[in-house]
Copies of this chain bind each other. A is one copy, B any other.
């Protein structure tokens, strides 16, 4: 007789319902692959009355999480309630009770990684979290397994569907940020409070996870630069697209050079012939460069009920198919000697200044840039409107970030500058 593996699911929301639906639809296929019986034994949620739109045996529903955590027959706990508490307590208790854990909880992992990993190690169980970054896209598995022979050199990720949708619509339809955001909210692509997505915090949490697996280094969220897309205007998009031939994406970057790790999240100009520039709408794409394989990219739906469920259930199969295997969470000896401060990076820059249109403006600005050792590649002032505010678009050759920041500070303090200068970094591989 085949071994039976029992699974307990905590959290019967959208993704939880997707997981139940996946087991309903494809259990046979999965059982054949792992040559074992798989039994969704218990589903726990505070609300077990609401119809989730999926078929479920009412006898396996419970409101008591201990029906999972304390059941010695349960081998794998899926945590899908999200947030820090009680998710963290549940996960730690599950692991202490010898259960493997599958989660999509990026916030928790990004904040409490060390404690969670330690608990998993101590109890000789695995924690799997493919669903926490890029939804259903095969990403963390390949990073650990297929690319196992590689030292990872860089990871560039478009990993927030909301931000990517907004930037795509601004580019394709010529609309303003606020307009697109409103439409995205109406279509359910953006939260009522969209801060978490559009200011880069969600991207940052996912980048923390990618950085652990890619570089064996855990970095806290307040230790690196995180910048969102809310300051980008339609005039930026137009100039970047039409005059420069670039796309703009909210990019998560993690890369190593000579033992120095750069970790940052910010809007980034990407050449239109780069594959990342083709990652549009709510889709996600992660571009990884390994020292042996060169560049690879994984692409797909980074969120949503079924794509995320695909990753969650895939993790369960991984655990069942590899029982007794230890978890791999990136290289065990990190090559990272130091985290590079954003001030010390070098980049090309796009700038948009808002200046009063009068003679001498460019002379003053170029003087400041020159003082900070920054060379101008191009300047465009399209509108002429003497005495009025006009946008000036500039592209800078590679410069040191610290110099750029100081130059911008000085430029912003000029009496003819009427708004904070926007500067956006350019992807250079």
Binding site for B on A (CB under 8 A): 18, 22, 25-26, 28-30, 32-33, 35, 130, 135-139, 141-142, 144-151, 273, 275, 277-280, 290-301, 304, 306-307, 309-311, 313-314, 316-318, 321-322, 325-326, 328, 331-333
Task: Name 21 interchain pairs, CB-CB below 8 A, sorted by A.
Answer: A22-B149, A25-B291, A26-B291, A29-B151, A30-B148, A33-B332, A35-B326, A135-B293, A136-B294, A138-B146, A138-B147, A138-B296, A141-B146, A142-B146, A148-B321, A149-B309, A275-B279, A293-B301, A294-B306, A296-B298, A299-B299
**Residues of B close to A317: CB separation below 8 A:** 145, 148-149
Q: A145-B318, A298-B298, A310-B149 are in contact. Are A293 and B331 (CB under 8 A)?
A: no
> What separation, in Å, do the CA atoms of A25 and B138 have in the docked complex?
26
CB distance from A154 to the nearest CB of B (A): 14
* Smallest Cβ-Cβ distance to A273: which chain B residue: B280
> What separation, in Å, do the CA atoms of A298 and B288 have in the docked complex?
11
| Interchain CB contact under 8 A, A299 and B300 | no
Partner of A314, one of B138, B146, B307, B326: B146
**Residues of B close to A300: CB separation below 8 A:** 293-297
| Interchain CB contact under 8 A, B136 and A311 | no
| Interchain CB contact under 8 A, A136 and B293 | yes
**Residues of B close to A150: CB separation below 8 A:** 26, 310
Partner of A310, one of B25, B26, B130, B290: B290
CB distance from A242 to the nearest CB of B (A): 18
> What separation, in Å, do the CA atoms of A297 and B280 have in the docked complex?
13
| Interchain CB contact under 8 A, A310 and B293 | yes
Partner of A136, one of B130, B292, B314: B292
CB distance from A357 to the nearest CB of B (A): 38
